[in-house]
Amino acid sequence: MPSKPAISYRNVTKSFGALRAVDDVSLDIADGEFLAIVGGSGSGKTTLLRVANRLIEADGGTITVEGEDVQNIDPVALRRRIGYVFQSGGLFPHLSVADNIGITPKLLGAPATEIAARVDELIELVQLDRAAHRDRLPEALSGGQRQRVGVARALAAKPRIVLMDEPFGALDPLTRDALGDDYRSLHRRLGLTTVMITHDMTEAILLADRIAVMRGGKLLAQGTPSELSTSSDAYVLELLRTPRRQVERLNALLPQSGAA
Amino acid sequence: MSFLNDPRWGEALSHLPDYLGNHVRVSLAALALGLIVSLPLAILTRNRPAPRAILLALASIVQTVPGLALLALFYPLLLLAASVTLKWFGVSFSAFGFLPAMLALALYSMLPVLRNGITGLNGIDPALIEAAKGVGMTERQSLVMVELPLALPVMMAGIRTAAVWVIGTATLSTPIGQTSLGNYIFAGLQTQNWVFVLFGCFASALLALAVDQLLGLIESGLRNRSRLRAGLGAIGIAALVAATLVPTMGRSSSGYVVGAKTFAEQYVLSALLRDRLQAAGLSATARSGLGSSVIFEALKAGDIDLYVDYSGTLWANQLHRTDIKPRAELVADLKMALAKDDITLLGELGFENAYALVLPKKRADALGIRTIADLAAHASTMSIAGDYEFFSRPEWAALQKAYGLQFSAQRQMQPDFMYAAVASGEVDVIAGYTSDGLIAKYELVALDDPKQAIPPYDAILLLAPKRTGDERLKAALSPLLGKIDIATMREANLRASGNDANSSPDVVAKWLWGKVGGR
């Protein structure tokens, strides 16, 4: 029997008025797994992510985090123990990089010297320059640097689970690529469980162990990329066709590199 | 004499610690109260659109009430409240001066604080509030650590606007008995002392500017997390408060307070009364520029100890009588009626300050007008000007009825400007005051009232209920009774309306005593 899942959704539903944002979804995310939730806008993927740390309260079903029903955990305490990376950073513009990173340990009441040491460690970890960035305000940073701060902030309180809401969506392709790779290796090194939302199937395939596909509030399919490719669902196949076509076209257009 | 060497600057300066101190105290107290009420309201309603809209609408309505009216409204309101608390709890409080001024100004300060507070808090990117929640902040932590700091610049702009408004509007609290820099302005306007008017305006503008800059310093300190700047700003404000508290420490509050309404004759008479009390070894101060509806209530409540009013005014406004009696009879009736309220009518000063219809002597002679009855035939082609209350007073109705007066137009004017207006032909007739020195100065004539439609207006000395048995006070004042004839008062008023160093009420009061003291 495999170890208990880090996050488990059982028949979870959430409506906003007449709209069923999440419709009877059941999904397990294993400990140490990197899961990508893929879907278009309005598919319910963001709602599915946010009911996990109770940024949004589910209407029905059960969600457990590390075996515990989230309804039995104080939502503030729950959020402090789960890292969350926001779309385009969500950094507090009036706080320095260091204060942004150290915010959750501060909320947890860690002593200032400990926070400072942790902040330095995290700045190194996300490959920012301590001297150049530590005391700057977020506005002085590039988009990629800001998202690195966002990742550092999510990791500050040493969570075992990290939720990411389209973290690399707004970045240019090169930065996005580098950041994705860097995060992937952090995920492995720190033994994290990561759930990442993206609308980009290519990104999902490149980074995640497993992919869940959402559409109209329903979970259409889940599995590794190769499992998904055997799906009978037209929408899932359509989603997979895009990266395939990209590869074929790239292969046709780019001369084969001599080094390979 | 050069304008800058004018000794009235020195006189103005000598009042500064008192006026400025009171002004700062009432403004900052009002601002503090306004903030204590508005900021929590802004925070509480930030996510509640309906109460927020109602609150903003209410604050906007308050803002449309002119400052002077708002301040004046608080006086009767508090009088009512004071009588209610007296009845229910056996405690009363003074509805005069500081309290109504502070409450009205606090109300006045609320709109900018509320509006900017709400705008500032609502203007925050919802993604940041979501992020605050996401990193594990409670609602309170989100408010303190994220929302308030981000809304700070907009909120501080509102607080600074409120501060400037309150300090400016506080000059209007003089008529309800709160000493302020407005004392310069009201006294200056009434006695044509432009040095005082300018001094008052500059002083309140400078104060507003200084407080605004100090608040700006605090804001920039908070924003840039510079303890130094925020500290300097806070120290500046604290120093301002401390500096204004010092001069009043030594001042005794046990003395007699002499009230005065808002015109030159009253300023002169209150200075005269104060001088007489001081000469008798009693400590006394003058509280000038009180609204004519406020001053009687203030005497009744004991907020002032004595003042000069006019028999006809009380007859109509306090006793609500419309019949007219001969001078002596009217005073006697009034004395009995006031005694019921424990107010002592000590006696008449000797002159009358009645309303009179006034026009240039040359014009009157040319048209053969000597009495109001003569005027009635010409009135339909003439315009008339009166002070702000004249046309709504019973005397005006009585005049119209008795003589069938019908003017082609009627205008309201600042009393001091009426005489120049009628002299220059701007208006044909004015409702002037018989004791006004300007009648002689501009060669005007006051028309006779053969049908006695206008009641007598003897200047009478009134004492507050708590001074009923105060023989020392009465002895100090009795040398004045019956001594001031109309010619002397007119000359005193003419002197007070001049625009030079000898025209200050204090100087004129001394001149007046020189004339009547030996009689």
Is B12 inside a domain boundary?
Answer: no
Do residue A107 and residue B141 have CB atoms under 8 angstroms apart? yes
- Residues in B closer than 8 angstroms to A93, CB to CB, are 128, 150
Is A124 inside a domain boundary?
Answer: no
- Do residue B84 and residue B189 come from a single domain? yes
Name which of B134, B145, B150 is nearest A79 (Cβ-Cβ). B134
- Number of domains chain B is built from: 3
* Closest CA of chain B from A172, distance in Å: 21
To test the contact with chain A by mutation, choose from B125, B129, B135, B154 the residue with the greatest count of A C-beta atoms within 10 A, namely B135
CATH at residue B407: 3.40.190.120
In the chain, the amino acid numbered B133 is: K
To test the contact with chain B by mutation, choose from A56, A88, A92 the residue with the greatest count of B C-beta atoms within 10 A, namely A92
Is A260 inside a domain boundary?
Answer: no
To test the contact with chain B by mutation, choose from A56, A74, A76 the residue with the greatest count of B C-beta atoms within 10 A, namely A76
Is B1 inside a domain boundary?
Answer: no
- Do residue B361 and residue B434 come from a single domain? yes
- Do residue B120 and residue B229 come from a single domain? yes
**pLDDT tens digits in sequence order for chain B, 519 residues long:** 456 667 778 778 878 888 888 899 899 999 999 999 999 999 888 888 888 888 888 888 888 888 888 888 887 788 788 778 877 877 767 777 788 889 999 988 988 999 899 989 988 999 999 999 999 999 999 999 999 999 988 999 999 999 999 999 999 888 887 888 988 888 787 767 788 889 999 999 999 999 999 999 988 888 777 788 888 888 888 888 887 776 554 444 568 899 998 888 898 999 999 999 999 888 888 888 888 778 888 898 888 899 999 998 888 888 888 787 888 899 999 999 999 989 999 999 999 888 899 999 999 999 999 999 999 888 889 999 988 878 887 788 888 889 988 899 888 887 778 888 999 888 999 998 888 888 888 889 989 888 888 888 999 999 999 888 888 889 999 888 988 998 899 889 888 877 677 778 888 999 999 988 776
- Residues in A closer than 8 angstroms to B136, CB to CB, are 76-77, 79-80, 104, 107-108, 157
* Closest CA of chain A from B125, distance in Å: 10
Name which of A87, A93, A107 is nearest B136 (Cβ-Cβ). A107
Instruction: Give ipTM to 2 decimals.
Output: 0.89
Is B8 inside a domain boundary?
Answer: no
Residue A193 lies in domain: 7-88+160-252
**Rounded to 5°, angle at Cα B277 from B273 and B283:** 120
Q: Is B220's Cβ below 8 Å from some Cβ in A? A: no
Do residue A55 and residue B134 have CB atoms under 8 angstroms apart? yes
CATH at residue B469: 3.40.190.10
Q: Which residue blocks in B224-347 are alpha helix, DSSP H? A: 227-249, 264-279, 292-300, 311-317, 327-339
Residue B440 lies in domain: 355-446
CA distances from A29 to A54, A61, A192, B43, B218 (A): 17, 16, 12, 40, 51
Contact B264, B419 (CB under 8 A): no
Write down which residue in B249, B265, B297 finishes a domain: B249
Contact B489, B505 (CB under 8 A): no
CATH at residue B130: 1.10.3720.10
List pLDDT tens digits, range A119-158. Answer: 999 998 888 888 888 899 999 998 889 999 999 999 999 9
* Three-class secondary structure of residue A131 per DSSP: helix
Supply the DSSP symbol for B324. Answer: -
Is A130 inside a domain boundary?
Answer: no
Enclosing H/E stretch for B433: strand B429-433
- Number of domains chain A is built from: 1
Contact B304, B261 (CB under 8 A): no
Place of tokens 């608390």: B85
Q: How far apart are CA B148 and CA B142, in angstroms?
A: 8
- Residues in B closer than 8 angstroms to A76, CB to CB, are 136-138
Nearest residue of B to residue A76, measured between CA atoms: B136
